[in-house]
Amino acid sequence: MNSSPFNVEQFPHILVLGMGGTIAGLAPSPEANPLLYQAGQVGVEDLLSQVTKVLPQDLKIISKQVANINSSNLSEAVLTELGKLVNHYLKSSTLIGIVITHGTDTIEETGLFLQTTCGRAAEKLGKRVVLTGAMLPSNAPRADGPANLIAAIHWASTSVDNCPGGIFAVFADKVCMARDLAKRHSSTLNAPLQDSPSSAIGLINPSWLSDVKAKQAALGDDLPIPEALHWPWVEILTSHAGARGEIVMQCLGAGVSGLVIAGTGQGGFNSAWQESIDKAIAAGVAIVRATRTGAGSVRPNIPENDPVGCMAAGSLSAPKARIALQLALNAAKESKVKGGPQQPSWQDYFAKQALF
């Protein structure tokens, strides 16, 4: 393996982008409780040095530190930088694939973002962009980061029959589409793939591969990446017992462009919100109904008809739906600026991501 600088135009290579997170975290000592740690303390170059001996020695790897943060602090500006870097490096004729080390708390949002803005490009170029991370800090006795990083590099660099390029994630020797990432447990080692359609890396499941191709075909073209300071403002509100309509009105008064409702069951919300939601829609605020349950789809017009200006989240969790709505609103705005006979609405763009 070679992780030193070299002329990337001459050698096939893997690019590893560091974003921080638990995989780059440090506990006070190896003997300390591994849950007591600080994320984003170890650089990506040092993470790679931990796995050098078990990677093919002829595999050339370069790295770039994009951020080194606790992923709970992920910002839209960082997503913009990451997306532009991925799209830029994908165009390199000598790039084999990209691996991104990332914190697990918001990795599903980054996965959805990259799928929506870079997925078609990666698929057409036949290259894999692979997200990975860890649930234990780098100095924990049984740290899972090194094994995940090795597996991610393997998946990004190894030819697999009939498997397209695209945006993927690798954890605990399993691979899934990045848009399917679902962290549904606070501490288990396979938490980022809880409830995600996945396959063992070493033995690709044909039905999973078929599902990947079907989803990629349905997702449509990549949406534009918003500039760092120009992401539409979208907030998530959770419906609950005793919910009050004032919170919706406060968001409306603050100038939000969209609201994702993490509703009960099939995406329903407390009737105390109805009047405020209607006012928000009338004011042009985009509304998406998701579910707070953690799994399952929210279907259009169930249990009641959705008013114009309100859409169901489909297969997207509330955090993913928020990213998808932001990108859809931005795409609709850019389309309107360009003009032309057909100007898709945010609903048109969002529907492609919801996969009803």
Report the interhelical angle of 107-125 vs 76-90 (nearest 10°). 20
Report the interhelical angle of 206-219 vs 107-125 (nearest 10°). 90
Q: What pTM value is reported for the model?
A: 0.94
Q: Give per-residue burial for 299-318: e unless 16+ CB within 10 Å, then b.
A: bbeeeeebeebbbbbbbbbb
Are the beta carbons of 233 and 261 closer than 8 angstroms?
A: no
Q: What is the pLDDT of residues 316-337, one digit of tens each?
A: 999 999 999 999 999 999 998 8
Give me the mean pLDDT over the 7-35 stretch: 87
Residue 5 has pLDDT above 90, yes or no: no
Read off the pLDDT band of 190 (50, 70, 90). confident
Task: Output the pLDDT for position 51.
Answer: 94
Instruction: For residues 117 and 128, give the distance between their C-alpha atoms in angstroms, rounded to a whole number.
Output: 14
Q: What is the pLDDT of residues 23-75, one digit of tens each?
A: 999 998 877 787 889 999 999 999 999 998 899 888 999 999 999 999 999 99
Mean pLDDT for all residues in the chain: 93
Residue 202 has pLDDT above 90, yes or no: no
Laid out side by side, the sheet with 286-291 consists of 234-238, 258-263, 286-291, 310-312
> What percent of the chain stands above pLDDT 70?
97
Task: Output the pLDDT for position 100.
Answer: 98
Read off the pLDDT band of 7 (50, 70, 90). low
Q: How many CB atoms lie within 10 A of CB 36?
A: 10
Bridge partners of 283?
A: none
Residue 282 has pLDDT above 60, yes or no: yes
Could you give all domains of the chain from N- to C-terminal order, each with its CATH number? Answer: 13-219 (3.40.50.1170), 234-354 (3.40.50.40)
Task: Output the pLDDT for position 45.
Answer: 97
Q: What is the pLDDT of residues 89-114, one digit of tens each?
A: 999 999 999 999 999 999 999 999 99
